[in-house]
Amino acid sequence: MNQILSRSEPDTGVDVDWWRGAVIYQIYPRSFQDSNGNGVGDLLGIVGRMPHIASLGVDAIWISPFFTSPMKDFGYDVSNYCDVDPMFGSLSDFDALVETAHSYGIKVMIDLVLSHTSDQHPWYLQSMQDRDNEKVDWYVWSDPKPDGTPPNNWLSIFGGSAWTWEPAREQYYLHNFLASQPDLNFHNPDVQDALLDVTRFWLDRGVDGFRLDTINFYFADKELRNNPALPKEKRNASIAPSVNPYNHQEHIYSKNQPENLAFLARFRALLDEYPGTTAVGEVGDAQRGLELLGQYTSGNTGVQMCYAFEFLSNETPTAARFAEVFADLDRVAAHGWACWAFSNHDVVRHVSRWNLNPAAARIYATLIMCLRGSVCLYQGEELGLSEADVAFEDLQDPYGIQFWPEFKGRDGCRTPMVWENSNRNAGFTTGDPWLPVSPEHLHRSVADQEGEPGALLHHYRRIIALRHSHKAIRKGDHDGLYAYGNVLHFTRRYEDQTIFCAFNLSNIPVTHALPAGDWVTIGAEVGSTAPGPDGNLHLGPWQVALALKL
């Protein structure tokens, strides 16, 4: 009789560190593929497009929330953690997705939103009834000040006070995001236990990991002390747009609390019961992102990876900026592990944000694949999609509606994926899409680029393959990142393999020295140039040089 190996028993054939250096493809399910013609993407749509995902060579997919939800924040307001919202399908559809992904050798990570729930979640509906129920302190409640105003000055990322009055309790509740997203009280062990039970539910269902939304927001200061003002020169709009007064505070009490480390240790211990599972945390902090990344990923008691917002900002990263970020990372998180992203579902697509020409888009794609850390790619990034221009009357995002027109929200990066150029909906749906397909995207469709050998889509496939075929690029250390004018260079090492990388992040040709030693050029298929007769690298505009030490 064959022995059945349970999920919690070690499998010596499993690479438990597969996440280290992995390429993770983010799917925003509403906009990926609609399988039933209702205009909204769904889980079976993802199943149908799995061959495209596999063709990229990625290690895993991260699926943004698909749980039962009133969709006030499009799934990031969960009303049932252990079921699929009917618009996305069913639990059996999710099982089919996991089975299909695994058949292609692709891991499945799902987006867990633990810091808050929907105000329609049964936990909240019970907690808000009165001050004498089993879940009375499952959320962050507080009496008003004597004058009836909120208990402190905390602000919501979505604008206005982070407190909303609940007449039934005659108390305020905390919400760092929408008023319909009340914050859970992590100081209550029962809340932690319930969320760990949710995590176990999905682990038992076969998921390989989690993306943890707003991982540094789990705990609020027990004393609810006021946040201090943030000096104007230190304000950074990478977390919230500059028009949002949220940027005027230093959020030292409303998030980033030290108790978070103890909860993450509990979370990690649960993951360790399921060998080969992993988690990447989203660190939403404009001032301390890298420092928190170091705290949350150091050792074996935190999550395996975190990503901060250094390269999700509006600032086009120069060679000097990359060197600065990695110097800071090496200083405050030398033993941590970063997961880098240039785009996601919350920010303007980086091709538009940084105003990249096609050559620049290629070299940035090559660069992120060569950095120490893991990588998240956002759906459509492999096509070079730009930010879509969504008219106000078509907006769905409450964030954009609130701050229009100074900030247009997140719908421009969430428009449907473009699969073909045969109709106005680009093969995404046979119905009316929940957001309009951008006409500018049609000529960038998957089908169009499949027929163009020089298309960006093929470049992504080649650079991902190059990353996987060189262990120094995938898992190696670096000797620091260095800027020499517009050239960024560094050396990656793993065991007996050493690779030198140089990137000309400008439209001006430069000459750059190759380190001493015997080197052979690699990556010609991604545009890597060989040394000239003088032994130096002659980098053209937006050109890369990759060399393997013999």
pLDDT tens for the 550 residues of the chain, in order: 233 334 444 455 678 999 999 999 999 999 999 999 999 999 999 999 999 999 999 999 999 999 999 999 999 999 999 999 999 999 999 999 999 999 999 999 999 999 999 999 999 999 999 999 999 999 999 999 999 999 999 999 998 999 999 999 999 999 999 999 999 999 999 999 999 999 999 999 999 999 999 999 999 999 999 999 999 888 876 666 677 889 999 999 999 999 999 999 999 999 999 999 999 999 989 889 999 999 999 999 999 999 988 999 999 999 999 999 999 999 999 999 999 999 999 999 999 999 999 999 999 999 999 999 999 999 999 999 999 999 999 998 888 888 888 888 899 999 999 999 988 899 999 999 999 999 999 999 999 999 999 999 999 999 999 999 999 999 999 999 999 999 999 999 999 999 999 999 999 999 999 999 999 999 999 999 999 999 999 999 999 999 999 9
**Residue of 400, 406, 408 whose CA lies nearest to 158:** 400
pLDDT at 141: 98
Per the annotation, the verdict on 406 as an active-site residue is no
Phi, psi of 252 (to 5 degrees): -85, -15
| C-beta contacts of 123-129 below 8 A and 24+ residues apart | 123/184, 123/194, 124/182, 128/166, 128/168, 128/169, 128/173, 129/168, 129/169
> What integer pLDDT is reported at residue 234 of this predicted model?
83
Helices (H), 276-318: 289-297
Q: 3-state SS of the chain: helix, strand, coil percent to 5?
A: 30, 20, 55
Q: What is the pLDDT of residue 194?
A: 98
Q: Are 292 and 254 in contact (CB under 8 A)?
A: no
Q: Which two tokens stand for residue 78?
A: 């969960």
Beta strand 60-63 with 107-112 is parallel
Structure tokens at 49: 């497009």
Could you tell me the pTM of the whole model? 0.95
Question: Does domain 476-549 fall into CATH 2.60.40.1180?
Answer: yes
Give the fold, CATH level 3, of 23-114+189-219+256-411+438-446+453-467: TIM Barrel (3.20.20)
* Extents of the domains making up the chain: 23-114+189-219+256-411+438-446+453-467, 476-549
Nearest to 377 by CA among 349, 397, 409: 349
Does 213 participate in catalysis according to the annotation? yes
Angle 260-272/289-297 helices, nearest 10 degrees? 40
Torsion of CA 334, 336, 342, 344, to 10 degrees: -160
Helix (H, G, I), strand (E, B) or coil at 484: strand
Torsion, Cα 48 49 54 55, to 10 degrees, reads: 130
Locate all alpha helices (DSSP H) within 255-334, ordered by sequence: 260-272, 289-297, 319-332
Catalytic residue (one of 213, 221, 282, 387)? 213
- Which one, of 406, 408, 416, lies nearest residue 392 by Cα? 408
Q: Where are the alpha helices (DSSP H) in 7-165?
A: 43-48, 50-56, 91-103, 122-127
Paired tokens of 450: 């499949």
Topology agreement, domain 23-114+189-219+256-411+438-446+453-467 and domain 476-549? no
Paired tokens of 114: 């633990």
What is the rounded distance in angstroms from the CA atom of residue 325 to the CA atom of residue 290?
A: 9
* Number of other residues whose CB lies within 10 A of the CB of residue 38: 15
Integer Cα distance of 293 and 512 in angstroms: 33
pLDDT of residue 3: 35
User: What are 24's two structure tokens?
Assistant: 């993770």
Query: Catalytic: which of 15, 190, 273, 394?
Result: 273
pLDDT at position 5: 37
Determine contact, residues 134/125, Cβ cutoff 8 Å: no
- Assign residue 204 a region: left if phi > 0, alpha if psi is -120 to 50, beta otherwise? alpha
